[in-house]
Amino acid sequence: MPRVVNVMGLWCRIVSRAMRDPRRLEDLIEAVELYGVYAASLTGNIDLTTDAGISAARS
Give per-residue pLDDT as tens, 24-49.
888 888 888 888 888 777 777 778 88
Rounded CA-CA distance 41/51 in Å is 20
The one-letter amino acid code at 36 reads G
Give per-residue pLDDT as tens, 47-56.
888 898 888 8
Whether 15 shows a pLDDT value over 70: the answer reads no
Q: Is residue 3 in some structural domain?
A: no
Domain with 26 in it: 9-58
Q: Is residue 45 in some structural domain?
A: yes
Question: H helices within 1-59, ranges in order?
Answer: 15-18, 22-35, 51-58
Per the structure, the count of domains in the chain is: 1
Q: What is the pLDDT of residue 18?
A: 67
